[in-house]
Amino acid sequence: MTDLQKTDFDYIVIGGGSAGAAVAARLSEDPTVEVALVEAGADDRGVDEVLQLDRWMELLESGYDWDYPIEPQENGNSFMRHSRAKVMGGCSSHNSCIAFWAPREDIDEWETRFGAEGWNSEMAFRLYKQLESNEDAGPDAPHHGADGPVKLMNVPPSDPCGVALLDACEQAGIPRTKFNTGQTVINGANFFQINRRPDGTRSSSSVSYIHPILERKNFTLLTGLRARELKFNDANHCTGVDVVDGQFARTHTLNARTEVILSAGAIDSPKLLMLSGIGPKEHLAEHGIEVRADSPGVGSNLQDHPEGVIQWEAKQPMTETSTQWWEIGIFTPTEDGLDRPDLMFHYGSVPFDMHTLRQGFPTTENGFCLTPNVTHARSRGTVRLRSRDFRDKPMVDPRYFTDPHDMRVMVYGIKKAREIISQPAMAEWAGRELYPGPDVQTDEEITEYITKTHNTVYHPAGSVRMGAYDDGMSPLDPQLRVKGVTGLRVADASVMPELTTVNPNITTMMIGERCAELVREARAASGADTAAAGAGV
């Protein structure tokens, strides 16, 4: 932990993850303001298992993982856990660094359907260009040659099983395509783009935004400090945060002269808001927490990408090297007339038996898998407090497959995976189907298998959504300001009104970029107002 020699700042960012690191770095570009970035986890510098992208699977359920269990599921796998990163960079230091621009339709919907004024694809695509460097996208891409901090690259086609899989996709009517060109891919497949540097270092938000600015005199990084409660004055203005030193269990108060930005993620941001008296009043009352702002949408609208798995033994030895072991994406619609795909697959060149082995399915040391996931699941869950003790893990209830749409897409996905792998191009690779196996064929049998064994792509979102100013179920306005108080914004995946079709990490960084712009605009407006008042205007 950085020594607490200073406790007063202009801006305090709580959470050094995908969005928080971007917010703090951009705000500290102004040398006239003092910015603190507060992270509960460890510094990532010098930690090879975090920095080296091909080691990401070691981080699941490790000391760098908050490892949140989920509540018992009526239609889903109650053994499932939500991995949330406990380290600088947040989930961008913990994930497989699959890098996607969201489809235009996703971001435009935030504005047109949910009332988040100003959040549209024109704004988002401008900020995608700003945050990344992506010469591999090709000369026709709208962001070719940009010089942002996050480095993107194409996964090289060096996995022969993966190349055969793409051939099989073409034989099944799913063509090879390019990702991140600015065009929405409804039906297509290819090796991913990933945010990784040439030496194998992940281009996480910490590596990209924070490592280069650690010597800035107006920037302070505080790790190992866990937020306990947001602080407010009598006018309900957020004045800072109480944090607990993880090493000595001492409480300190950090003071914000201007604003606090909460970037703790889709599980911990609603938790901290509720601990601070902002949330559904009935739920807060259950835990004896005084209501500061009755906000029923805090902790509601929780969304995710639920994921199934179908695994084969490989007839040939699988690759022993990889950028991150999950290198190909496949998109395809399950019905006609969609403007975005409702089904996505990740291809893994490694076994994935996290939830199948306990159910008695066979496994292998040499195999490959496809993991169908529902891009726009309609089931909605909640994040709730387990108690008023900040140390207790929250109650995370995704309510998987409570909307029948989601299981319909997943069942289709298992069948589509079999269709792809049955193509001639995979004949030299595809051995025995291990799970669900040839005995699981009917919709009912596949449904039972999915219910018992499904996982998640670890994409919780939407639990503190932004929306129209008069939308009582949107805790945030389109400026990311928390309704009912002042001096407090939220910037992370929790603000998404609807989860993106694709892996959302780059979009979460984009949210951080936009939040920094909104804060700077507010500061500039405040300065103009002060100057006008001083001039007697």
Indicate which CATH number applies to the domain containing 292.
3.50.50.60
Report the distance separating Cα 119 and Cα 394, nearest Å: 30
- Within a 10 A sphere around the Cβ of 391, how many other Cβ atoms? 10
Token representation of residue 233: 């004055």
Q: In which domain, by residue range, is 391 found?
A: 8-528
Q: Is residue 470 part of a domain?
A: yes
With contact defined as beta carbons under 8 Å apart, do 348 and 308 qualify? no
Catalytic residue at 459? Answer: yes
Report the distance separating Cα 199 and Cα 336, nearest Å: 43
- The helix or strand, by DSSP H or E, that contains position 227, with its residue range, turns out to be strand 225-232
With contact defined as beta carbons under 8 Å apart, do 98 and 204 qualify? no
Report the distance separating Cα 7 and Cα 300, nearest Å: 33
Instruction: Show Cβ contacts of residue 457 under 8 Å, excluding neighbours closer than 6 positions.
Output: 304, 305, 306, 307, 346, 371, 373, 503
Residue 246: the pLDDT is: 80
Q: Is residue 534 part of a domain?
A: no
How far, rounded to the nearest angstrom, does the alpha carbon of residue 294 sit from its chain's CA centroid? 27
Q: Is residue 536 part of a domain?
A: no
Q: Is residue 110 part of a domain?
A: yes
Report the distance separating Cα 400 and Cα 533, nearest Å: 54
Residue 256: the pLDDT is: 98
Number of domains in the chain: 1
Which residues make beta-bridge pairs with 395?
Answer: 384
Residue 55: the pLDDT is: 95
Strands 193-194 and 153-154: antiparallel
Report the distance separating Cα 312 and Cα 105, nearest Å: 35
Q: Hey, what's the torsion of the CAs at 469, 471, 475, 478, to 10 degrees?
A: -40
CA 424 vs CA 72, 87, 381, 398: distances in Å: 42, 44, 41, 39
Q: Is residue 496 part of a domain?
A: yes
- Within a 10 A sphere around the Cβ of 212, how many other Cβ atoms? 11
Q: Is residue 445 part of a domain?
A: yes
Positions in the chain short of pLDDT 70: 1-3, 137-145, 528-537
Q: What's this model's pTM, rounded to 2 decimal places?
A: 0.97
Residue 537: the pLDDT is: 45
With contact defined as beta carbons under 8 Å apart, do 95 and 458 qualify? yes
Q: Is residue 116 part of a domain?
A: yes
Token representation of residue 278: 């902002």
DSSP state of 11: E
Token representation of residue 189: 């497949």
What's the number of CA atoms in the CB half-sphere (13 Å) around residue 210? Answer: 34
Strands 430-435 and 310-314: antiparallel
DSSP state of 87: B
The three-point CA angle 344-81-396 to 5° equals 100
CA 222 vs CA 40, 90, 219, 466: distances in Å: 8, 14, 10, 28
Which residues make beta-bridge pairs with 528?
Answer: none
Instruction: Show Cβ contacts of residue 440 under 8 Å, excluding neighbours closer than 6 positions.
Output: 446, 449
Token representation of residue 160: 């022969």
Residue 526: the pLDDT is: 87
With contact defined as beta carbons under 8 Å apart, do 519 and 27 qualify? yes
Cβ burial of 262 (10 Å; 0-12, 13-18, 19+) is buried
With contact defined as beta carbons under 8 Å apart, do 427 and 312 qualify? no
